[in-house]
Chains A and B, each alone.
Chain A
Amino acid sequence: MSTKNIMVVGVGGQGNVLASKLLGRLLMNEGFDTKVSEVHGMSQRGGSVVTYVRFGEKVYSPVIDKGQADFIVAFELLEASRWLNHLAENGQILTNTQRIDPMPVITGAMEYPENLVEKMQNAGAKVDAIDALSLAEEAGSSRAVNIVMMGRLSNYFDFSEASWNEALLSTIPERYMDMNFKAFALGKNA
């Protein structure tokens, strides 16, 4: 099979690295050559963060370039829009509809753009938008947005429930497990 590309994007602190660890674990267990590229350091302090996940028979580049992402999973709406140009033809965006104001919006230098889902669709993207923050809160913590979105992403693959469960069990600390399983299911079924 040709290499598949998933980007996980969001705001530093939203659990981007954990989500991509989970995906990496899942894909390796499924027998794929897998690469996951993370960002550490300064951007993790509330900046725009992106993680690249690639899998297939043989993966070379650890990064995904413009026009190459089969999936963009966004934990925040503006971030989904920011990475739109990385979407491949027929690619799919999955986004949390949550809005987190960046500093230029907070200081009033710029406005947070309105109707971003529609605008992405008008640009030609397929968009699956859910209120992952509410679902995460329903599961027990606003910090579970990342896992809600992973649950959502699971709808787009044929991997078994057992595979996802194993990946969750091996990446999430035990004391948060029940809450995260709930978050995963809520995202999947929303």
Chain B
Amino acid sequence: MKELLLGNAAIARGLYEAGCSVVSSYPGTPSTEITETASEYDEIYSEWAPNEKVAMEVAFGASLAGVRSFTAMKHVGLNVAADPLFTIAYTGVNAGMVIVVADDPGLHSSQNEQDSRNYAIAAKLPMLEPADSEECLSYTKYAYELSELFDVPVMIRTSTRIAHSQSIVETSDRVVPDTKEYKKDVAKYVMMPAAAKARHRIVEERLEKLRQLAEDSFLNRIEMGDTKMGIITSGASYQYVKDIFGESVSVLKLGMVNPLPIKLIQDFASRVDKLIVVEELDSIIENHCRKLYLEVTGKDVFPLVDEFSPNLIANLLGLEVNEGISMEEPLPQRPPVMCAGCPHRGMFYTLNKKGVTVLGDIGCYTLGSMAPLSAMDMTICMGASVSSLHGFNRAGGKNSVAVIGDSTFVHTGINGLIDIAYNGSDSTVIIVDNSTTGMTGHQDNPTTGYDIKGEPAGKIDLEALCKALGIQRVRVVDPYDLDQCSRVLDEEMDALEPSVIISRRPCVLLRSVSAKPPISADEDKCSGCQLCMDIGCPAISMKDNKTRIDATLCTGCKVCIQLCNFDALVSNEV
């Protein structure tokens, strides 16, 4: 059947058709929808794991037991899962295991722009790179064959433009291979030095066999056109090149980006006048060509940063491009903002007013760094707020807190809190608990009490957990109550021992949260003092020096009412 599927949904379809039976992932843009879609197939056991390392180990365990397994993550998630990755590369698999890593060139929703192909090289694993949804589906299925044929976990790399683009795929039925028998094999699976040394030899031999496969695999194909220019490319860049040049250049499209073929590339180079590599981010294919002593145009022309576009490639290869019409007027930007009624707002407003140094983390609440809340001083990676706060304070840092979301806390924030408790740090950690994983589109997590299918599941009691770690001072506040936030923050920051404040209220976008009637602004009472503007609520603006509430956005959270000294903001709640 023909279907128009998102790249991510096509990968999930590939999992279904390939008979994959266990999927474990942590959400991360642009990879999230793979696992969400997989969870809609009842034949596949799917779950959200607390982090990518756990997810990868779950997938490995399932492979060990004999069924096809899978995990997906964003590029920075692979950093977390790198530890098992490098040694699963040694043990190999029992049943097929496939790992998707989704890169984000252009940083649509990420904190860095790392190129995950480097991981495949470093871990000596095969990596496929599809260029549309059809290939997302077919490569996923083929990856399982490769995995079982070469006894290796297979990586698939996507990027935002492949993961989040829909194109047409042909679907077929699910075929489940027989479960492979689990056999105890200490030399293969217990990676003590002697065994691992032997396995390393196998890894190198396997890589060479995979390279030979790359020479004449259907994954890598030459599309001969005019021979003046020959372009080697992969993924989204392939689509841009075809869009610009059609048949007027020759193209070597690589569907397998590690290991790279040698003879195939030499052969292609010999058939064209000028060899060009078009690849986003790092110069991996280009460096490979240079090692083969090929003369090649690559990063001398193309940038190492940001995502490519058809115009960018055309322009850098000397073609004239249409830059379109424009108005001369500068337009205001529209950065993402915390939603009206967002429970994070009250806490960030309080932190801003107190001039606290805020070590932040990854999630919707990273938007607390934007004006006018401007209450964040650092954001690095998942969990870094908590551990960095301890280091900051040990080095004499003062008037400081960590802010981390519920899902991020469970992901890797908990480790930092153990350090704070164990080493007795006078640090205050604020867990902004909105009962969901917000930024990636509202996934459940171990603190919400529901699983990936929305069924009741195990639930972490955050207060009890923090106390069990050894934190004596654990407070819960409602971020809609500004006085309470302020008072508790003062008390906990003054305390000379570790403390945790749980700022708890569910995300307003959750279906279970019903909005209250919008606030009214009384024009006669409004003095135009603009104090209510300090919370940066998108529902509040000023017109003719009077506060105006956008009733289509306002959720009636009443935080603004607490700022008004003139009773000009009125709740309509009965």
Contact = CB atoms under 8 A, between A and B. Distances in A.
A92 interface: no
B336 A24 contact: no
B161 A37 contact: yes
A27 to B, nearest CB: 8
Interface stretch (A45-53, A158-166, A172-180, A181-189): A45-53
Contacts of A119: 327, 329
B336 A45 contact: yes
B24 interface: no
Contacts of A110: 330, 332
B109 A66 contact: no
A112 B4 contact: no
Contacts of A11: 334
Contacts of B132: 35, 62
B118 interface: no
B326 interface: yes
B555 interface: no
Contact of A46 (B309, B332, B538): B538
Contact of A81 (B109, B240, B331, B367): B331
B29 A41 contact: yes
A38 interface: yes
B334 A79 contact: yes
B495 interface: no
A47 B109 CA distance: 12
B319 interface: no
A63 B161 contact: yes
B538 A106 contact: yes
Interface string A118-144: 011011110000000000000000100
B322 A67 contact: yes
A41 B30 contact: yes
Given A36-B4, A106-B536, A43 B336 contact: yes
Nearest to B3: A28
Nearest to A116: B327
A95 to B, nearest CB: 14
Contacts of B364: 45
A44 interface: yes
A66 to B, nearest CB: 4
Contacts of B168: 28, 33-34
Interface in A44-100: 44-48, 59-63, 65-68, 78-79, 81-82, 84-89
B302 to A, nearest CB: 16
A135 to B, nearest CB: 14
B464 interface: no
Interface in B177-234: none
A65 B311 contact: yes
A111 B243 CA distance: 39
B332 A104 contact: yes
Given A105-B541, A124-B325, A45 B439 contact: yes
B6 interface: yes
Contact of A24 (B4, B326, B440): B4
Contacts of B4: 24-25, 28, 34, 36
B485 to A, nearest CB: 22
A39 B533 CA distance: 29
A122 B327 CA distance: 8
A151 interface: no
Interface string B148-191: 00000000000001101111100000000000000000000000
B333 interface: yes
A61 B333 contact: no
A142 B552 CA distance: 8
Nearest to B307: A63
A39 B336 contact: no
B323 A61 contact: no
B334 A48 contact: yes
B366 to A, nearest CB: 8
B194 to A, nearest CB: 46
11 contacts: A37-B166, A40-B29, A41-B29, A46-B336, A62-B162, A68-B322, A79-B334, A85-B325, A102-B333, A119-B327, A125-B325
Closest 5 A-B residue pairs measured CB to CB? Answer: A41-B109, A67-B322, A41-B29, A85-B324, A47-B336
